[in-house]
Structure 1
């Protein structure tokens, strides 16, 4: 037990040192980082902490005092998408177990990155989301619409972080990668001309995300097509672009810096070696069926 405690302390110290170093290195893009909506692009832990403080700062008025208004529908949408993905009811959020070992994606993504990413960062979003949900419940009981809407940025950030990471883990698998087959391959070829053209467009979009965010392949239910899109921070794809997520790539620096340093393009290239195309195919089939195609 003592050995495990020491290992945990060493890991926490390592993470703190890494995040401090990333913050120092990110000074080369200080102007861009200041424009980021939530926090330093190289320090997700700080962003999670700041959002926790933001949630705690929201004051709910007493029942009968709060002003009426319209609740932003994106609040319900975030929870709805989480329920659809995980089967979780609002507030009952837990860290989903990985279906493979942390080291299973090596050498493309290191075991240490996977463990920190899953147990520290993803868990941080879940902890904050539960706090958001508790405060939302208080605001609903008081009919404080202003407080409900004030929670939206935190719900999108933390709910999106929970949703996006859950999809990300399933989008990857050991002994995977290569070119897709089946319906998703046909859709990619139809929309982009070839897998290589899709790969080039997806890679360019993901590498080009300013600051922190995600690269996505999504399904458009209206047009029955697939498309490449990007989102800032943890904004959910479906709320941002109306696309159902099929394949997501986390390009926050914490997802790759330990292994690839500032070479995001190398990380994006390596990602294609671990894509779980069976999962993407399943998501594509389900999305088309739900859209009536």
Structure 2
């Protein structure tokens, strides 16, 4: 048996001892959760495919929902990508670099399968959006919004998530973001407790966020269901995001979301969060 296989076997044995659940059952549960996520992505692809664009002159006049353009604007701001020209961003670290807090298998599947799935659907929605715009079918354009928000948000959220983490990171923040956290939450410990509580408490699948409010010049905690972007849901600029869909942690933490959230604090790239905060304040004129 190769060294890698021996290492994996030892890890699986230890996992079974600690959890009291056989690794085969854990894998079955993980496959079920991955299947559920894959089904959500597949159903959204089917939704986009089912939207019928009417011929010129047949479309009913109305107004285009501004969130359609907003999602693409947020993606361009984060990645510099034009609408429809979306691709999987490379990680700045290896898949195993966040261990033992987030294992390599989760990172690889999450990045190459789930994130890529959102990108594929977003590109398909973008193509149909062009088709609808050519004939001014506003009804079809607006019908595409759920797919654009779900898949565009999935692309945007994950892109931020990867940069929010780093090897040998964690600890407490320093600089401007530390001052903001102390000002708006009283202390880092208070922020940690509130952020953790909000993230653990997300019903079903979603995200926990630390965001910046341009109008109030303050930081705030918010949650979003599914993959919906923080900007369109709460008018906050995303600074730190935590994916609490089960595919992000189940293989390693099973149903213990709170343990996963606790481990996340060991990989937070506070330098990245601080850069985002300072950029957001500058853009807001503060």
Superposition TM-score, scaled by structure 1 size: 0.87
Structure 1 residue 22 corresponds to structure 2 residue 27: no
**Which of the numbers 35, 44, 49 marks the counterpart of 2:37?**
44
Structure 1 residue 82 corresponds to structure 2 residue 75: yes
Local SS of the residue matching 1:246:
strand
Q: Give the superposition deviation at 1:17.
A: 5.2
Contact kept, 8 Å, 2:98 with 2:104, in 1: the verdict is yes
Q: Give the superposition deviation at 1:21.
A: 3.2
Contact kept, 8 Å, 1:132 with 1:155, in 2: the verdict is yes
Contact kept, 8 Å, 1:19 with 1:43, in 2: the verdict is no
Local SS of the residue matching 2:111:
helix
**Which of the numbers 214, 237, 245 marks the counterpart of 1:244?**
237
Q: Give the superposition deviation at 1:22.
A: 3.5
What is the aligned partner in structure 2 of residue 145 from structure 1? Answer: 138
What does the per-residue CA deviation read over 1:235-285, in whole Å, with 9 as the maximum and x for residues that have no partner? Answer: 100110000000000000000000000000000000000000000000000
Q: Give the superposition deviation at 1:212.
A: 0.3
Question: After alignment, is 68-77 or 42-51 more displaced?
Answer: 42-51
Structure 1 residue 92 corresponds to structure 2 residue 85: yes
Q: Give the superposition deviation at 1:64.
A: 1.4
Q: Give the superposition deviation at 1:20.
A: 4.7
Q: Give the superposition deviation at 1:43.
A: 1.9
Contact kept, 8 Å, 1:215 with 1:249, in 2: the verdict is yes
What is the CA–CA distance in structure 1 between the aligned matches of 2:164 and 2:204, rounded to whole Å?
A: 23
What is the aligned partner in structure 1 of residue 19 from structure 2? Answer: none
**Which of the numbers 161, 173, 181 marks the counterpart of 1:188?**
181
Structure 1 residue 165 corresponds to structure 2 residue 147: no
- Superposed CA RMSD: 1.6
Q: Give the superposition deviation at 1:19.
A: 5.2
Alignment of 1:231-270 (within 5 A): 231-270=224-263
**Which of the numbers 196, 221, 224 marks the counterpart of 2:217?**
224
Local SS of the residue matching 1:102:
coil
What is the CA–CA distance in structure 1 between the aligned matches of 2:49 and 2:32, rounded to whole Å?
A: 28
What does the per-residue CA deviation read over 1:116-158, in whole Å, with 9 as the maximum and x for residues that have no partner? Answer: 0000000000000000000000000010000000000000000
Unaligned runs of 5+ residues in structure 2 are 1-26
Contact kept, 8 Å, 2:30 with 2:250, in 1: the verdict is no
**Which of the numbers 185, 208, 211 marks the counterpart of 1:215?**
208
Structure 1 residue 273 corresponds to structure 2 residue 266: yes
What does the per-residue CA deviation read over 1:181-212, in whole Å, with 9 as the maximum and x for residues that have no partner? Answer: 00000000000000000000000000000000
What is the aligned partner in structure 2 of residue 204 from structure 1? Answer: 197
What is the CA–CA distance in structure 2 between the aligned matches of 1:162 and 1:276, rounded to whole Å?
A: 19
Give the 4+ runs in structure 1 shifted more than 2 A: 16-23
Change (3 A) 1:233 1:101: same
What is the CA–CA distance in structure 2 between the aligned matches of 1:288 and 1:21, rounded to whole Å?
A: 42
Equivalent residues, number? 262
What does the per-residue CA deviation read over 1:11-44, in whole Å, with 9 as the maximum and x for residues that have no partner? Answer: xxxxx95555338xxxxxxxxxxxxxxxxxx821
